[in-house]
Homo-oligomer: A and B are copies of this chain.
Amino acid sequence: MTASEPNRPQPLTMRDVAARLGVSTMTVSRAIRGDTGIAEPTRQRVLAEVEALGYRRNDLARQLRSGESHRLVGLIVTNLANPFYAQLAVGAEQAASVHGVGVLVSSTNGDPERERELVLDMAARRLAGLIIVPASNDHRHFDPQVLDGTPVVLAATPPQGIDVDCVLVDDFRGTYDACRKLIGDGHSRVGFLGLPASTWTGSERYRGFAAAMDDAGLEIDERYVSRHRGDIRLAEAATRRLLDLPDPPTAIITANNRNTIGALRTLTRSDAHVALAGFDDIEIADLLQLPLSVVAYDAGAVGREAARLLLDQIESGAPVPGAATYGRQRVLIPTHIVDYPQADYTDPEPDAHLEQDEP
C-alpha cells in the first residue's frame, strides 16, 4: 500500500451501488440495461441511486463479458488537414454516432509503413471495423483474414487482391467532364497535373482526361502531362515548367486540390492566360483572382457511405470472406462540374486595391 499515492478517485462499481441499496449486483445490472424481469419500483430506486452517486458502468468489463466488440471504428487517412479527408471524417463520424459508434482517426502522412502499423494496432485493439483510405496500392495488410476478422471498408480506392467493400468517387467521369468542358471552351492544348500512375485516383483521373481528349479527336502532348504526389510545391513547379514551354498549354486539369492550389499559385503570379479545372471543390473558389472550374462531389457522403457499409457488416455479424460471400459492395459517389467564373467582381480598375492602405 503506497501511502503517498494521490487519491485516484476509485471508479464506483456495481457492487458499490448494490451495497448501498441492499440488493445484488444483478438487480443493478438489470435496471441499467433496461432488462425485463425487474419490478418498476425497484428499477426506479436503482436508477435514482445511480444518478445520485454518479455511477457509470464500465464498458470494458461489459464488452469483455458479453463478447461485444468496441463500439468504435478506426478511420485511417493520409492527412486529416486536407479538407477532403476532414469532410470525409465528419461524414463517417456522423453516420457512426447515430449507432453509438465512435471514430478513432489517424493520419499516415502517406507512409505505407505507418499505415501498416496503424492497421495492426487497431485490429489488436479489437475495434469493430476499419475505414481506410489507402496510402499505397499494396492492400495485403488490410485483409480481414489477417486482422482477426476485423471488417474493412476502403474509401477512394478499390481493393486490390483482397475482398472488401469500398466507396469510390467517380474519378473517371470527373476528369472526363472537366476535360470536355475545357474542350468545349475551345481548348485543344490541355495540360494535366496528375498523381502517380500507381495509385487508383492517379490512373483513373488520367484515364478520364485521356478519354475526353480521345473522344474529341485531340492528341495528348506528353510534355503537358506530369505526375507526382499531391503536393502544393511540386504542383507549383510543374505548372511553371508547363508555362515555360515554347508552346504552353492553354488549359490545365489538376488531379486533386493540392495540385489545384499549386497551379493557382503559379498562374496567379504569372500573366499567362491559362484556363484551369481541378478535381475537388475549394471552399472559397469564388473569391479567387482567377476563374476556376472544379470537379465537385460530396466528400462527406464518402465517409457516410463507408460508415454505413461498415456498420452493415458489423451488425450483421461480420461475415468474413471465404465463409459466406455475398459479393462485396461498391458504392459510387457522383461528381459534377462547378464553374467559378470570377464574374462577381466588377471593379474596372484592378489597381485600386493597392490604394487601400491609405484611406
Contact = CB atoms under 8 A, between A and B. Distances in A.
A97 B90 contact: no
Contacts of A56: 120, 123-124, 148
Contacts of A104: 72, 102-105
A83 B83 contact: yes
Interface in A264-288: 264-265, 268-271, 273-275, 282-284, 286-288
A327 interface: no
A355 interface: yes
Given A289-B289, A353-B342, A105 B89 contact: yes
Contacts of A347: 271
Interface stretch (A157-165, A168-176, A238-246, A312-320): A312-320
A9 interface: yes
A354 B359 contact: no
A164 to B, nearest CB: 14
Contacts of A52: none
A6 B324 contact: yes
Given A103-B105, A185-B358, A319-B6, A286 B273 contact: no
Interface stretch (A57-65, A192-200, A215-223): A57-65
Contact of A58 (B120, B126, B185, B274): B126
A115 interface: no
B86 A80 contact: yes
A102 B93 CA distance: 16
Interface of A: 5-9, 11-12, 54, 56-61, 63-64, 70-72, 79-81, 83, 86-87, 89-90, 93-94, 97, 100, 102-107, 120-126, 145-146, 148-149, 185-187, 250-251, 261, 264-265, 268-271, 273-275, 282-284, 286-291, 317-320, 323-324, 342-348, 352-359
Given A60-B63, A71-B125, 6 more contacts: A9-B145, A81-B83, A94-B107, A102-B104, A268-B345, A342-B353
